[in-house]
Amino acid sequence: MHDSSTGSTGNTARPSRRTVLAATAGLTAALTAPATAAHAATPNDRRLRALVSRMTLEEKVGQLFVMRVYGHSATAPDQADIDANLKEIGVRTAAELIEKYRVGGVIYFTWAHNTRDPHQIADLSNGIQRASLEQPRGLPLLIATDQEHGIVCRVGKPATLFPGAMAIGAGRSRSDARTLGRVSGAELRAMGINQDYSPDADVNVNPANPVIGVRSFGADPDAVAALVAAEVRGYQASRVAATAKHFPGHGDTAVDSHTGFPVITHSRELWEKLDAVPFRAAIEAGIDSVMTAHIQFPALDDSGDPATLSHPILTGILRGELGYDGVVVTDSLGMEGVRTKYGDDRVPVLALKAGVDQLLNPPSIDVAWHAVLNAVQNGELTEARLDESILRILRLKGRLGLLDQAYATRAGVDRTVGTESHLATADRIAERTTTLLVNEDDTLPLDPRTTPRILVVGADPASPSGTTGPPTSVLAGAFTELGFTATALSTGTAPSATTVAKAVAAAQDADAVVVGTYNVTAGSAQRTLVEQLLATGRPVVAVAIRNPYDVAQFPAVKACLAAYSWTDVELRAAARVIAGRVDPRGRLPVPVQRADDPTQVLYPLGHGLTY
C-alpha cells in the first residue's frame, strides 16, 4: 500500500472507490437534503441498509470509533510517531489502525503531528481514505478535527485563522459567523477534513469556567443561538459536518471535564431558558452532529452518570424532546469526566446504550473495541442497535458526498487554503470584534506623531495551532507596520520581581506601554507589573488577550481592550484599533463583574466604547 504523502494529492489510483460507487449510486444527490429534513429517512436508506447488511460484526463495531493516530503520513510516519502509535494503539501507522479496527473516523491533532501544512494534511487524508477504501467492503472515513478558531485550533498557518467564538460574539454579526463557517469549511474540505467539532454551543455564564470561557459566543442564549445557527449554515455550504457541543451545556462550571467531573446545578426550567436554546437553534439549522458533555446534570438525570452515558439526556431529551436524529458523538473518552465512575471497558458500551453513535478517542481502542464487540456477543447490546448508529453515520457520509468522492486534490488546496481573499476576510471580521472597554482622558487612539515609541510587554502563551505568535512580538510588529517604533518584551503570565523591574526600566525609553494580560486574578503578578508600569507616568494600554474579565483587575488603567484570544488575526486587529486605523466596534458578549464584589456588574453585557 502506498501513501500519497510522498507524492501528489492528485493520485487517482483508487480501485476500491468503484465498489462504493456501485453500491451507493445516486445517494449523494438524494442525501443532500434541505436542513429541515437533513436527518430524515429517505428511500435511499434501502441502499445504505444494504451496505450495513454486508458488514461483519467486527466492521460494524469499528465504524463507531473515531480515533487519534500519530504521524504526518498514513503509511510512513516518523519513527517517533511509529513508537507512539505502538505504545498507545498497538499499531505502527494510520493504515494499520484502519486495517486492524476498521474505524469509521480519525481525529487530527497538532500534537499528534497530523497537521504540519495544507498539502501534507491533504496527503494524510488521502492516505487514510485509500487505506479504508482498499479494505473489503471499504467505506470512506469521517476525518475530524477541533477547528474552533481562537484558542482551539488544530490547523495553523498558512490556512486562514479567524477570531474565536467570543470575539465573534462581540462582533454580533450572523453574517460574519456564517462567513467564518463557509471559509473555514472550504479550507478544511480542501485538505480532506470533512467533520469539524465546532461550533461551541455552550452559554458561558460562569467567569470562572476553566474549559469553555472564550470558546463560547457569550452569555446571552439567544445571541449564542443565532451565531451557532449561522456558523452551522456556513459549514453546510462547504459540505463539512459541523458539530454543536457540549450537550446538554457546559457553560456554567468551574471544573474542567478533562481533569475532573463537573456538576451543573441548573434547574430544568433554567436549562430550557439558557443551555437548551443554542442546541435547539443548531438542530433547526440542520446540524450534522452533536457532541456530548462529560458533566453531571442532576436536574436532567439524577443517576449521577455523566451526560455522555445518560439515556434520559441523550435519548430522552436530545432525540425525544428536541427531535434530533443525527449523529451523536462523545467528547474524548480519554477525559477524566467520563472515566470517574466507570472503567474504560464499560464507558463505550454505556455510551451506546445511552444513544451515542460515535465513540471518540478512547484511551485504549483495543479495550473499547473489544468491550463493544463482547457486549453484542453476550447480548447486552444488540446488533440492531449498532445498525441504527451506523445508518446515521452512513447518512452523514452520504450527505457530505464522501460515498462518491472522498479525496482531496493538490489543486483544491492551492486554490482554497489561505488565499489572499480568505485572509483579508478574516482581518475584516477581526476588526469588528475588538472591544474597547475603558478609554479615560481619550488615551486612545495612539498617534505615531505624538507617541512614536511603544513598548509591548505581557504574556506570551503558546500558540493554539503552533504557527502563530508570540503575542508581544506580533503586537510590536503590527505597531511597527502602523508607523510606530515598537519593542517587544515578554514578561510571562507570572512575572518575577526581576522581570517587572526590567519592564519598568524599558518603559523609561517609551512614549506608551501596551500590556498583554492573560487570565489575571487578584493575586496575579501581572497586576503588580501593570501597577508599577502605571507608576512610571507613561500611558498604559491593557489588552486582555484571553478573558475579558481581566479589565476588573485594573481599576487604575485608563485604556483597556478585549481581544478574546492571542492569535495573530485578533492581535493585529487590536493594534489597528489602538492606532486609530479602525474604530472599535465590539460589544461585550458577557458581563464583567467587579473584582472586589462579584455580585455587582462592572461592565454589562453589550458594553463597548468607540472613538
d(CA 172, CA 187): 24
d(CA 515, CA 471): 10
Catalytic residue among 331, 357, 427, 568: 331
d(CA 471, CA 572): 10
Spatial neighbors of 265 by CB under 8 A, at least 6 apart, are 252, 298, 299
d(CA 361, CA 516): 35
DSSP 69-87: ---SSSS---HHHHHHHHH
CA pseudo-torsion sign 475, 480, 485, 489: positive
Residue 469 near residue 114, CB atoms below 8 Å: no
**Measuring CA to CA, how many Å separate 395 from each of 46, 131, 315, 347?**
11, 21, 19, 25
Sheet holding 540-544, edge to edge: 435-439, 559-562, 540-544, 512-517, 453-458, 485-490
What cell was used for 556? 487604575
Phi-psi region of 323 (alpha: psi -120 to 50; beta: other; left: phi over 0): left
d(CA 472, CA 537): 21
Decide if 258 is catalytic.
Answer: yes
CA pseudo-torsion sign 161, 165, 166, 168: positive
d(CA 266, CA 296): 11
Residue 239 near residue 185, CB atoms below 8 Å: yes
Decide if 149 is catalytic.
Answer: no
Strand partners, 107: 144
Alpha helices in 292-419 (DSSP H): 311, 336-339, 347-354, 365-377, 383-399, 410-416
Catalytic residue among 2, 119, 258, 370: 258
Burial 14-50 (b: 16+ CB within 10 A, else e): bebbebbeebbeebbeebeeebeebbeebebbebbee
Strand 243-247 relative to strand 601-603, pairing: unpaired
Length of the chain: 611
Strand partners, 542: 515, 560
d(CA 403, CA 395): 10
What is residue 330's DSSP assignment?
P
CA pseudo-torsion sign 374, 375, 377, 378: positive
Residue 145 near residue 196, CB atoms below 8 Å: yes
| Cell 464583567, residue located | 592
Active site residues: 258, 331
